[in-house]
Amino acid sequence: MHDENQSELDWALVLAPYRRDAAFIEILLAENGMSVRVCASTDDLADLLAQSPGVILVTHESLTPQTIEAIAVHLSAQPNWSDLPIFVLLDRKAPHARIRAELERLWPQARQIYFQRPVISLELVTAVQSAFLVRLRQREVRDSIERERDLRFELNHRVKNILASVSSIFRMTRRAADTIDTLVADFEGRLGALANVHSAVFEQGGDTVDLREIVDLTLKPYADKAKRLKIDGPELLLNRDAGTTLALCLHELVTNAIKYGALSTDEGRISVIWKISDDAQPILTLEWIESGGPPVKEPTRAGYGTRYIRSALSAIFGEKPIVLFEPTGLRCVARGLLANVVLTDVRPPFK
């Protein structure tokens, strides 16, 4: 009756060396949909216990010192969530009180259920079925504990990454700021861009964020200029790191556009366009194009925003972006393998 696909805890181990108890119990439980493995020899007991039975049924005759010790060793290794049920079938004339006291002393980690032979079939079947249900609930608790532990590790990892990002943003903002007011305004803006992406990732319940949502969230504070914004591209989910970095880059670009570029005038326009090639290894191309603003001249030295954009986009795309200060408007083109920015290592969602 051994099903190789049976999960741990889902089968009963029977120790009944004499009479026809083993065959009787096996047939009885099997007829009621329960998997059974019979231990025919004490030599096999340790191996069977190592396979994690859901319940154990032992007869009076099987309670030898070797069997009792093997089960005691197995019980001592049980995790905290496990309360292994052991059914003990005793003869009517057996010293029940003494046996129970001794087994409770030797098997303190087990939940012991005693039956007197001859056993009423329905009572035994009902008791074993109930024990399996209890084991199922225990396993659910175990899985919940493991998920909680994994989530704690993941949360700790994410918090560290977020704090590192905030610290880095602050240091870079401080170096570029001329006044306290500028520092506060720029830092709040960049921090807001970071928060928006993390909120988007959280709401989607995983480690990805939609590219269009990143663009929308970053440009949302400038909704009054929405008619002058063109956003176009296929649906695309980016990994969390790429999404966060891209949001910060877009924030730098839109801030520059408001101060000096296309959004500093009523006629200016901005297009954010991306496309994916049909190559064997698809290429993602993302463009930021400004037009209709004041004439643009290339600065004599690169400011913080430009340096950050070049560095950050190079890191996520694997290629240096093209930043052009064309007379008609700033143009930034980022290009690289799609595999660099999409999620390739699928992990459990963080909710």
Residues 89 and 210 in one domain: no
Select the more confidently predicted residue: 193 or 306: 306
Domain boundary among 95, 126, 143: 143
Task: Report if residue 322 sits inside a domain.
Answer: yes
CA distances from 296 to 223, 267, 320, 345 (A): 24, 15, 22, 42
pLDDT value at position 161?
A: 57
Pairwise CA distance, residues 270 & 249, whole Å: 15
pLDDT value at position 275?
A: 96
Is 14 a residue whose pLDDT tops 70?
Answer: yes
Residues 139 and 181 in one domain: no
Residues 196 and 322 in one domain: yes
Residues 118 and 42 in one domain: yes
CATH, residue 85: 3.40.50.2300
CATH, residue 208: 3.30.565.10
Residues 196 and 114 in one domain: no
Domain boundary among 100, 117, 143: 143
Q: Going by C-beta distance under 8 Å and a sequence separation of 6 or more, which residues neighbour residue 22? A: 14, 16, 38, 40
Is 297 a residue whose pLDDT tops 70?
Answer: yes
| 37 — pLDDT class (breaks 50, 70, 90) | very high
Q: DSSP per residue over 280-315, as a string?
A: SS-EEEEEEEEESSS-----SS--HHHHHHHHHHHH
Tell me the mean pLDDT in the region 281-294.
Answer: 94
Task: Report if residue 112 sits inside a domain.
Answer: yes
Pairwise CA distance, residues 259 & 121, whole Å: 85
297-301-303-308 Cα dihedral, nearest 10 degrees: 110
pLDDT value at position 188?
A: 81
Task: Report if residue 107 sits inside a domain.
Answer: yes
Query: Model confidence over 224-256: pLDDT tens digits?
Result: 555 678 899 999 999 888 888 888 888 888 878
Task: Report if residue 148 sits inside a domain.
Answer: no
Query: Model confidence over 101-150: pLDDT tens digits?
Result: 999 999 988 889 999 988 899 999 999 999 998 888 888 888 888 888 87
Select the more confidently predicted residue: 348 or 172: 172
For 252, the 3-state DSSP assignment is helix
pTM score above 0.85 = no
Domain boundary among 143, 166, 192: 143
Q: Which residue segment(s) compose the domain that 188 sits in?
A: 177-340
Task: Report if residue 234 sits inside a domain.
Answer: yes
| 10 — pLDDT class (breaks 50, 70, 90) | confident
CA distances from 162 to 159, 197, 244, 245 (A): 5, 11, 10, 12
pLDDT value at position 138?
A: 84
Task: Report if residue 266 sits inside a domain.
Answer: yes
Beta bridge partners of 229: 270
Residues 36 and 127 in one domain: yes
Domain count of the fold of the chain: 2
For 38, the 3-state DSSP assignment is strand
Pairwise CA distance, residues 36 & 16, whole Å: 12
Task: Report if residue 98 sits inside a domain.
Answer: yes
